[in-house]
Amino acid sequence: MKNKLLLTSALVSGLVAYGAAQADETKITGDYKLSYKMASGKDAATVGEQGFGRETQINVSKSGELSNGLSYSTGFSFESDGGDTASTATATTNSLVMSNEGIWLGITSGDTTVMIAQDKAPNMDTSAVPRVGENASTGAVGQASKYAQNANSIYGAFGIAVTQKVAGGALTLNYAPQVGDTGANNNDNASNQDSKAAYEILYKGSLGVEGLTVYAGMNDRDTRQTIGDGSERTSETNTAYGVAYNFGNIAVGFNIANLEGATLASESQTKEIGATLAVSDQVSVGIGRAETSDEGTTNSSSKDEEVTYIQAGYNLGGVKLQASYYDISNGGYTSGNDTEVLLLRAGAAF
């Protein structure tokens, strides 16, 4: 359980430049992750690599009741990945930056929440597959270049989300006026993006069945074509769905993501299946396999990309350890582009 730093209303009023002090509680939480990665290619086309990585994050949130009886939740996050720098001309290496990690304001009435958010609303960057460590796109980044979990989710764009609690889970509708609008403008300013509006609808929950996880989502994006002079636009429809079941200390599940690319000829499908075993309260192990195929018309002779992985996790209480091994075949649909990756992670939350 995360330990939380609680600020009294008196202290909060001293930090805020306007408004009266409130009895609502402000919470500051955070975490960090350290990693060590080793990658070894099986042929000359893949360059081996190794090294440390890091990520730190601070979250500030506040929740309570409004004067009209509705409840609210709001907050933002700061994240720094490795050598991230601030976006100003005077930035120095390793500055603390927003990094599009997200901000939100949500108003709740009963089982319905309306949220203005970037990155924080429920979205399709998720899966039903149980895992102990990172998914293939995170753990084997740079090698498994075609694997996709997020089904081109619009979670990174500013928009409005409506979430309704239903059937042991939540049904969410996201709408983004402009795909790619991460709120990079100064306050009260605006600018056009290359892409137009998009929407996303998804459900994730148990359907009222204990131990069951069901996930289904789709989104539609109006994006600019990368062919011709770039003035043409196309509508991309992406879908994802999966099912998992927890038998107690064993969980199994599968997920399928179908993606359209920037042209109508570019389509892919990722099928993933996985299982985990809780050996004890502290130790868990997992295994999985993901296969991504080119469903388009321009690369019909390409090879399917296959990722097989095994993972182990050790929860020491205040510190968590993970080890993941990924065996990647035909990375990027290239025959013979095979890679082995070992990823070690350690982290703590506060």
Q: Residue 1, exposed/middle/buried by CB under 10 A (0-12, 13-18, 19+)?
A: exposed
Per DSSP, the three-state class of 98 is: coil
Per-residue model confidence (pLDDT) at position 21: 41
* DSSP summary character for residue 93: B
Strand spans (E) along 42-168: 49-65, 71-81, 103-109, 112-118, 159-166
Per-residue model confidence (pLDDT) at position 89: 38
**Higher-pLDDT residue of 63, 2:** 63
Q: Tell me phi and psi for residue 11, to 5 degrees.
A: -65, -40
Is pLDDT at 42 greater than 50 in this prediction? yes
Q: Report the alpha-carbon distance of residue 111 to residue 119 in Å, rounded.
A: 21
pLDDT bracket for residue 100 (50, 70, 90): low
Q: Report the alpha-carbon distance of residue 307 to residue 272 in Å, rounded.
A: 9
Per-residue model confidence (pLDDT) at position 296: 65
**Higher-pLDDT residue of 40, 29:** 29
Please check whether residue 169 is in contact with residue 191, taking contact to mean a CB–CB distance below 8 angstroms: no
What is the 3 state secondary structure string of 32-48? EEEEEEEEEECCCCCCC
**What's the whole-number mean pLDDT along residues 307-333?**
93
254-313 confidence digits (pLDDT tens): 999 998 865 545 688 999 999 999 999 999 999 999 999 887 655 555 688 999 999 999
Per-residue model confidence (pLDDT) at position 7: 40
Q: What percent of the chain has pLDDT over 70?
A: 78
Is pLDDT at 195 greater than 70 in this prediction? no
Per-residue model confidence (pLDDT) at position 342: 93
Beta bridge partners of 268: 259, 294
Per-residue model confidence (pLDDT) at position 275: 97
Global confidence as pTM? 0.81
Is pLDDT at 225 greater than 50 in this prediction? yes
Q: Report the alpha-carbon distance of residue 64 to residue 107 in Å, rounded.
A: 10
* DSSP summary character for residue 85: B
- Bridge-based pairing of strands 267-278 and 283-294 is antiparallel
Amino acid residing at 281: D
Kind and range of the H or E run holding 9: helix 9-15
Per-residue model confidence (pLDDT) at position 228: 54
The number of beta carbons lying within 10 Å of the beta carbon of residue 39 is 21
Per-residue model confidence (pLDDT) at position 330: 87
Please check whether residue 307 is in contact with residue 289, taking contact to mean a CB–CB distance below 8 angstroms: yes
112-170 confidence digits (pLDDT tens): 999 999 888 899 999 999 999 988 888 777 777 788 888 888 888 889 999 999 989 99
Tokens (6 digits) for 313: 């996790």
Per-residue model confidence (pLDDT) at position 16: 40
Please check whether residue 173 is in contact with residue 123, taking contact to mean a CB–CB distance below 8 angstroms: no
Per-residue model confidence (pLDDT) at position 211: 94
Q: Tell me phi and psi for residue 331, to 5 degrees.
A: -55, 135
Per-residue model confidence (pLDDT) at position 90: 40
Among the residues of 36-192, which ranges form H helices? 136-139
**What's the whole-number mean pLDDT along residues 43-68?**
83
Q: Domains in the chain, please, with CATH?
A: 5-349 (2.40.160.10)
pLDDT bracket for residue 345 (50, 70, 90): very high
pLDDT bracket for residue 50 (50, 70, 90): confident
**What's the whole-number mean pLDDT along residues 172-183?**
86
Q: Tell me phi and psi for residue 251, to 5 degrees.
A: -130, 140
